[in-house]
Amino acid sequence: MSVNFHDTSGVMAGVDIHKYVMIPPPIGLPIPVHPTISAVPFIWPLCKLYYRSFKVKSDGWQMIQSGYDNGPLLVHQKIFVPPPHPVIETALFGLQYLFSTSKPQMSVHSVTTSGNALATTVIACVGININCSEPIGIPAHTLNFGTVKTSPSLGDYAAAVAGYFCDQVVGLLVGQLVPADLAQGIINSVIRFVPDIKLLLPKSVAPFVSPLLDPVGTVQSKVQQAVDGVVSKIKQAVS
């Protein structure tokens, strides 16, 4: 099955789930799950620019590496909105907007640039980003109509699933241990950027430190290798 590589011509759109606080004052009535439309182009400037490929391009567009994040400050529009609390909901929405994220979930480990796997769609031109929903990230759709294609392995798909579940476990733990929304946002932002520290390390040191800085990425890599190793052995046995 062929898929498209993600590049900066792509777009993301989805429906996230966030908290909402409606009237009456003074404390408001919290709604723990409320639908919110989100959208962003992959060329959005407020993102992890260093995970764009500056040398390798797709149809003239910069290609996207694993680890890329389209956030923060993504377009958010809450729908079916009851009257909002004038103070609490305004502050809450500001935090959701400030700490918003949207990460491509799929990458092909056999195709790399600058040592990172390149992000791809999941089926043809349709991909999946994981957005900043609460209490867990919800998949959003992406579209990338580029002409540069590849074929993910079964291990690549398994790694994407494993990475999703690992990220959600971390997110749920933060949500349970840290009840305050501002503190959650700060901690999640720190967690979001810690794996990027490995990009600053010497190449001789990075392989030893990366599992500590990026445990989710390490799990994904191990799952991909294990699954593709089993597939390879099965093919050899039946050939």
| CA-wise closest residue to 167 among 186, 139, 127 | 139
Q: Model pTM?
A: 0.91
Indicate the SS3 state at residue 16: strand
pLDDT in tens, the chain (239 residues): 799 999 999 999 999 999 999 988 777 888 988 999 999 999 999 899 999 998 889 999 999 999 999 988 888 899 888 899 989 889 999 999 899 999 999 999 999 998 899 999 999 999 999 999 888 888 999 999 999 999 999 999 999 999 999 999 998 999 888 888 888 889 988 999 999 998 888 888 888 898 999 999 999 999 999 999 999 999 999 97
178's CB contacts (< 8 A; 6+ apart) are 184, 187
- Rounded to whole angstroms, what are the CA distances from 61 to 57, 64, 83, 141? 5, 9, 43, 20
CA distances from 166 to 154, 158, 162 (A): 18, 12, 6
Which 3 state secondary structure label does DSSP give 126? Answer: strand
C-alpha distance from residue 46 to each of 43, 70, 73 (Å): 9, 7, 7
